[in-house]
Each structure stands twice: as C-alpha cells, then as structure tokens.
Amino acid sequence: MTKKQKYEFIVKYFSEKMPDPKTELKYTTPYELLVAVVLSAQCTDKRVNMVTPNFFKRFPTVDTLAEGSIEEIFDLIRSISYPNNKSKHLHGMAQMLLKSFNGEIPSDVDELQMLPGVGRKTANVIASVIFNKPAMAVDTHVFRVSKRLGLTPNAKNPLDTERELVKHFKEEQIPNAHHWLILHGRYTCFARKPNCKECGLTPVCSYYLDSSSM
C-alpha cells in the first residue's frame, strides 16, 4: 500500500465515523478558546472545562483579564497544571493583545506565537478551529497516532510531524484531521496499550501490522 492510499483510507474511515469532529474544550468566543488552549497544556480538557466557567465569569473579556492581577488568576486556575507560569502567561497575553492587536485574536500563526504562553501547537489550534486555516496542531496524541499508523514514519519531533501531515492531507481536510487524530488517540489508540480490537484502522496501521507479523 502506498502512503497516498493509506491517507485516503484513513480520511474515508474518519469521514464516515467522525464527520464533524470538534474540540472538547468548551468555549463561546475566540478569546475563551485561546485561554482554554493555554490552560490545556499538559492538562486534560476535562479539568480545563471544570475551571473555565468561573474563570470567564470573573474575566469575560481580554480587557478584564488584562486589568486583573496575576494572584487572582492563579486562585482561579490553581487546580490546573503549572498554575504559576500559566497565570503570568495569561495576564501577559491579555496585555499584549490590547497593546499590539487592539484586543482582537490574530489569525496569523506567527503573530499568535508572539503572545506569552502561546507556542506553535496552541497557535495552530486557534488558526484551525477559529479561522479554519489549514494549520495542523501536533500534540502528544497526534504525534503518537500518526507515527503508529505510519503516516509520519520518519518524524522525530512535532514539527516534522506537522510538515508531513500538512503535505499529505488536503488543505480542506486539515482542520478535521487534527481532531480525528487527537480523538482517536484519546479514546482508542492509547499511549500505553492501544485498543486495536476496537480500531477500524488496523488494515492500514503500521503498528498493528508489524505487531501481528511477530
């Protein structure tokens, strides 16, 4: 099977099983999603969704967050991983949004990465989810699943993975493909032991085929 055929099989499978995948982070505005994605670094979406309702009651806009104190932000996110750093990042991010972007969330990946606490993965999530751009955010799930499936066999890091996936998925497929791979990693292709018995991708999965041949 060629790599092109493998990608086509995976797109067909997910298009049927998961035609409209969405982020599991709860948000109503671009600002809220940006905050939620920053909080979700090395933390579960479930935990973030428990924290953000009270957070957005106190800080419903970029302006209110910029005017708040780091201490108050910390108190609201203390159950999130790395609350000290994230409190500083969120406060600095809000201030930079007001100073450099008129309080608007930029759509450009490079501009997004200028914001405190926003790395390439977070920037790609915002560009993809909010602005529907062909940006592929690579987290641990995407990195692991794409490697196991054989979509990115030579990728050594998230940037390698991103470049390879963007090269082979069609532009219009990329926003969905990001969610397909994340959700597949979250609920089927687990890190410690993938649930291959429940996976419909085994016919093209390099990990499964290699394991079966042993």
Domain count, the chain: 2
Q: Are 139 and 120 in contact (CB under 8 A)?
A: no
| Model pLDDT, residue 112 | 97
Buried b (16+ CB within 10 A) or exposed e, 182-208: bbbbbebbeeeebebeebebbebbebb
Residues 54, 140, single domain; the answer is no
The yes-or-no answer on residue 63 being catalytic is no
What phi, psi does 25 have (nearest 5°)?
-75, 135
Task: Convert 22-91 into a string of H (helix), E (strand) and C (coil).
Answer: CCCCCCCCHHHHHHHHHHCCCCCHHHHHHHHHHHHHHCCCHHHHHHCCHHHHHHHHCCCCCHHHHHHHHH
| Model pLDDT, residue 1 | 84
| Model pLDDT, residue 211 | 85
State the catalytic residue, choosing from 6, 86, 139, 147. Answer: 139
Residues 159, 80, single domain; the answer is no
CATH number at residue 86: 1.10.340.30
How far is residue 203's CA from residue 116's CA, in Å, rounded to a whole number? 43
Annotated ligand binding at 43? The verdict is: no
Q: 65 is in which domain, residue-wise?
A: 30-129
Domain boundary among 106, 129, 152: 129
State the catalytic residue, choosing from 46, 63, 75, 121. Answer: 121
How far is residue 4's CA from residue 195's CA, in Å, rounded to a whole number? 25
| Model pLDDT, residue 201 | 97
Residues 90, 160, single domain; the answer is no
Annotated ligand binding at 189? The verdict is: yes
Residues 6+ apart with CB under 8 A from 71: 87
| Model pLDDT, residue 214 | 56
Tens place of pLDDT per residue across the chain (214 aa):
889 999 999 999 999 999 999 999 999 999 999 999 999 999 999 999 999 999 999 999 999 999 999 999 999 999 999 999 999 999 999 999 999 999 999 999 999 999 999 999 999 999 999 999 999 999 999 999 999 999 999 999 999 999 999 999 999 999 999 999 999 999 999 999 999 999 999 999 999 999 876 5
The yes-or-no answer on residue 139 being catalytic is yes
